[in-house]
Amino acid sequence: MPRSLTFLLLICPYLAIAQVPGTEIWLVDLHDTQQAVSVADQAINITRRPGYDNQPAFSNDGSQVLYTRMEGEATDIWAVDLAIRKAAAVTQTPESEYSPTPMAAGGFSVIRVEADGTQRIWAFDDQGTSPKLLLPDVAPAGYHAWFGDGAIGVFVLGEPHWLGVVEAGQTSAARAAEDIGRGLRADPNGQLNFIQKKAGRNWLAQWVPGQIEPQILIPMPGQSEDFAWTPAGHVLVADGHTLMRWRPGDLDWSKVADLNTELHGTVTRLAVSPDGRRLAYVAAE
């Protein structure tokens, strides 16, 4: 098995190498207020090439979209400069990097598949150089999110997958929840939200320090495991092609829009720009 596909095959062990899905990243203008969320009618494909382009994340200043791009048997982190709509490689390493996540102090963290197949969280500077192992003892890591004052939530692969919480300045993970999905995000208040699998459904949940059980917020639409918070405090989720929103206190999800009805594949991962004016989303080719 090529090392670069270890990450995808650990998450989806039934996935044959020839079946690694082709995906594109789309960008659409977003209007985010405390009362409602809306999107523009037209979305723009900012990757537009055959192959795997996935896991978008906006840079801290919103000028770029970082993402994971597969070339042959390897993945690197790329970035689209939104001013000129041009993509360029940020990392170019023998290892594979996934899930670029900007850090508050600068640079970005990733899930790195190391030479022996170990998956751990590493950090790079803004130029994609000076790699540094952040959590030597937390593996195999599948996804991660920064929250609070420098804490990290980690999707740790296992039977079942579990949520690890690493407090700021620590290197070991406390086991915070069992049987979780891949979605991990900090809300606008800096609290860690994640997907809890329970009773045959996916639920949006929140890890609360000091509590044994997470706080269950609301069931997710369909089987979605991907979500994003807006600065005004809405959660966005895609159910098929339909963009849905929920705000704490609401009883159910509300429809926002149908995303680009010309797409043939479903919409998955979502990212909102720091100013709340743009939404990036992934759709299968």
Query: pLDDT for 51-97, tens place per residue?
Result: 999 999 999 999 999 999 999 889 999 999 999 999 999 999 999 99
pLDDT of residue 265: 75
Q: Give residues with Cβ within 8 angstroms of 155, minimum separation 6.
A: 141, 142, 143, 144, 161, 163, 164, 180, 181, 182, 184, 194
3-class SS of residue 7:
helix
pLDDT band at 3 (very low <50, low <70, confident <90, very high): very low
Quick check: 7 pLDDT over 90? no
Distance CA 182, CA 170 (A): 22
Predicted confidence (pLDDT) per residue in 177-216, tens digit: 999 999 999 999 999 999 999 999 999 999 999 888 999 9
CA distances from 5 to 72, 80, 202 (A): 10, 23, 26
Instruction: Give the model confidence (pLDDT) of 137-181 as tens digits.
Output: 999 999 999 999 999 999 999 999 999 999 999 999 999 999 999
Dihedral angle sign, alpha carbons of residues 142, 114, 9, 89:
positive
pTM comes to: 0.93
pLDDT score of 264? 62
Residue 46 near residue 80 (C-beta atoms within 8 A): yes
Position 11 pLDDT exceeds 70: no
6 vs 1: CA distance, rounded Å: 7
By residue range, what is the domain housing residue 189?
Answer: 3-284
- HSE-CB of 130 using CA atoms within 13 angstroms: 7
Q: How many domains, in total, are found in the chain? A: 1
Query: How far does CA 226 lie from the centroid of its chain?
Result: 7
- Say how far residue 183 (Cα) sits from the centre of its chain: 6
Domain of residue 147, CATH code: 2.120.10.30
Residue 2 has pLDDT above 90, yes or no: no
pLDDT value at residue 173: 97
Q: 224-282: per-residue pLDDT in tens?
A: 999 999 999 999 999 999 999 999 999 999 999 999 766 667 899 999 999 999 999 99
